[in-house]
């Protein structure tokens, strides 16, 4: 029998969610069977799959040792990550990172091992703010993601309460993000709200955009304003805001109106990219503002605050 003492980061979870994280080697079908047959209990009593755990509860698991064996073998794998991390803002609940272009946020299908989340875990571990041995089910987590070749602000939650609140705020669009980008071609309008319909091809990792609805498509709405123009190079600096949050939205939507991003190898103009010697897309998640409209609990102090990443490399094209 193994017993887990529920701490603050574990509290509030359903029993089945906790067990899935605490004992990942235990098959879900077996877990449900063990809960029903009282081989997994809460405070020595029978519990339901949906039982909510509270701080101070004890979860007893009468489960074969083999399912616990190996747990933790890779818990410290992040210590091999590079130490480099650019911090925009940090407090006891959250960490805002300025991700460089070229770094993935999580492991991807290319087998990338150097990731932003890995660097964040090492950073927090080195500071003594995260110790896998002291956690049953929680791992600091990123609350938003940006493409490998996009730079800018990524949010990390340091504790379970912050993660719960931020996930809700991201889902309900209570965070305002502003992107900077450079387009090949200057938009005819100085500012506009664009609406189109898009569908992602999972095999090709490519988004199709059309002006009218089509089967399987979702609505896409993007706002932009032109900040600067370089007519000699036929490029423009734009500030962009997302009304919807679709895959590759900025890249695909601007390409659809004839103004692809400079350096974009998927939706852009390869001839122009090569001529200008640009090998990465000119896109940065530059500003983040917390704009809560519902209760933010322990993160209420962040409401109205705005944070800015370092100026991206492509601003030099307009000096």
pLDDT score for 133: 86
- Delimit the CATH 3.30.2350.10 region(s) of the chain: 72-171, 179-285
Q: How many other C-beta atoms can be found within 10 angstroms of the C-beta atom of residue 48?
A: 12
Per the model's pLDDT, the better-predicted residue between 115 and 319 turns out to be: 115
| 12: confidence class by pLDDT, cuts 50, 70, 90 | very high
Average pLDDT rounded to a whole number, residues 4-23: 94
Per DSSP (E only), the strands in 82-174 are 87-90, 94-99, 141-142, 151-157
| Model pLDDT for residues 199-210, shown as the tens digit of each residue | 999 888 899 999
Confidence of residue 190 (pLDDT cuts 50, 70, 90): very high
What pLDDT does 71 receive? 54
Mean pLDDT value across residues 151-165: 97
Q: Which class is 72-171 in CATH? A: alpha beta
pLDDT tens digits, 63-106: 998 888 755 556 788 988 988 899 999 999 999 999 999 999 98
- The CA-CA-CA angle for residues 32, 138, 166, to 5°, reads 110
Q: Backbone dihedral region of 205: left (phi > 0), alpha (psi from -120 to 50 degrees) or beta? A: left
Average pLDDT over residues 283-305: 97
pLDDT at 181: 98
pLDDT of residue 66: 86
> Could you give the residue range(s) of every CATH 3.10.290.10 domain in the chain?
2-67
* pLDDT tens per residue across span 17-49: 999 999 988 999 999 999 999 999 999 999 999
CA distance 184 to 267: 11
Specify whether the CB–CB gap between 130 and 122 falls below 8 A.
no
Rounded-to-integer distance, Cα 286 and Cα 308, Å: 6
Angle at 232 between CA 228 and CA 237, to 5 degrees: 20
Confidence of residue 111 (pLDDT cuts 50, 70, 90): low
- Is 296 a residue whose pLDDT tops 60? yes
Architecture in CATH for domain 2-67: Roll (3.10)
Spatial distance between the Cα atoms of 301 and 242, rounded to a whole number of angstroms: 24
- CATH class (in words) of the domain with range 179-285: alpha beta
């Amino acid at each position: 029998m193994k017993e887990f003492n529920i701490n603050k980061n574990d509290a509030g979870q359903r029993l089945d969610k906790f067990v899935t994280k605490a004992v990942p080697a235990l098959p879900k079908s077996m877990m449900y069977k063990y809960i029903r047959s009282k081989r997994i209990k809460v405070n020595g009593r029978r519990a339901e799959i949906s039982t909510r755990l509270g701080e101070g509860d004890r979860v007893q698991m009468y489960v074969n040792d083999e399912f616990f064996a190996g747990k933790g073998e890779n818990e410290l794998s992040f210590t091999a990550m590079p130490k480099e991390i650019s911090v925009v803002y940090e407090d006891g609940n959250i960490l805002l990172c300025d991700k460089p272009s070229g770094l993935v946020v999580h492991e991807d299908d290319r087998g990338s091992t150097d990731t932003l989340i890995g660097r964040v875990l090492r950073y927090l571990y080195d500071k003594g703010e995260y110790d896998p041995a002291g956690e049953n089910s929680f791992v600091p987590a990123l609350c938003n993601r940006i493409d490998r070749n996009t730079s800018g602000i990524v949010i990390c939650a340091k504790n379970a309460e912050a993660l719960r609140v931020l996930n809700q705020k991201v889902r309900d669009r209570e965070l305002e993000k502003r992107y900077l980008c450079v387009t090949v071609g200057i938009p005819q309008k100085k500012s506009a709200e664009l609406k189109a319909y898009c569908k992602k091809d999972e095999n090709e990792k490519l988004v199709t955009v059309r002006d009218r609805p089509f089967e399987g498509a979702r609505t896409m709405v993007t706002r932009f304003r032109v900040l600067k123009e370089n007519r000699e190079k036929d490029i423009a600096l734009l500030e962009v805001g997302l009304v919807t949050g679709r895959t590759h939205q900025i890249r695909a939507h601007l390409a659809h109106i004839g103004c692809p991003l400079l350096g974009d190898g998927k939706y852009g103009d390869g001839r122009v990219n090569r001529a200008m010697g640009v090998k990465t897309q000119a896109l940065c998640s530059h500003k983040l503002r917390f704009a809560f409209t519902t209760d933010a609990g322990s993160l209420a102090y962040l409401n109205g605050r705005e944070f800015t990443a370092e100026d991206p490399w492509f601003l030099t094209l307009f000096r």
